[in-house]
Amino acid sequence: MYDKNNVFYKILQSEIPSKKIYEDGVALAFYDINPVCKVHALVITKALYVDFHDFVSKASPEEVGAFFGAVAKVAKLLEVDESGYRIVSNIGKDSRQEVPHCHVHILGGEQLCQSSK
Ligand code: 5GP
């Protein structure tokens, strides 16, 4: 069950600020407030899904495809498309997902560690 009391919902509503990178009909991208590497962006769904699993289970294939298209556009805007980057989506308790609104991390700008653990 989606709970609107989360920080990404507030960013979507412009109730709290973010450093926006990109926006279209399905996605909003902004910089992570606490970057773990040189380039650390977040791409969130505009529609209200708890996590990536919830999104893919309920959204249309077109919406899922459009979201991944937005992720690729953001990587290009951030100029990591040629050097390479990692996308990560934390889902639920064991992944330590902090914000219960569907999002993907884009990590890059430098050589990343081998493991995500
Ligand atoms: P999760 O663990 O849910 O995959 O990651 C949530 C991410 O959101 C974390 O990397 C955290 O730094 C980021 N974050 C939390 N609060 C804010 C905020 O208010 N603004 C921005 N830009 N990022 C945030």
pLDDT digits (tens, 9 = 90+) for 21-68: 999 999 999 999 999 999 999 999 999 999 999 999 999 999 999 999
53 tagged catalytic: no
What domains does the chain contain, in order, with CATH numbers? 7-108 (3.30.428.10)
How far apart, in whole angstroms, are the C-alpha atoms of residue 51 and residue 44?
Answer: 10
On average, the pLDDT of the chain sits at 97
Q: Give 34 Cα–ligand 1 centroid separation in angstroms.
A: 7
How far apart, in whole angstroms, are the C-alpha atoms of residue 73 and residue 116?
Answer: 23
The yes-or-no verdict on residue 105 having pLDDT over 60 is yes
Q: Tell me which amino acid residue 105 is.
A: H
Catalytic residue among 40, 53, 101, 103: 103
Question: The pTM is what?
Answer: 0.97
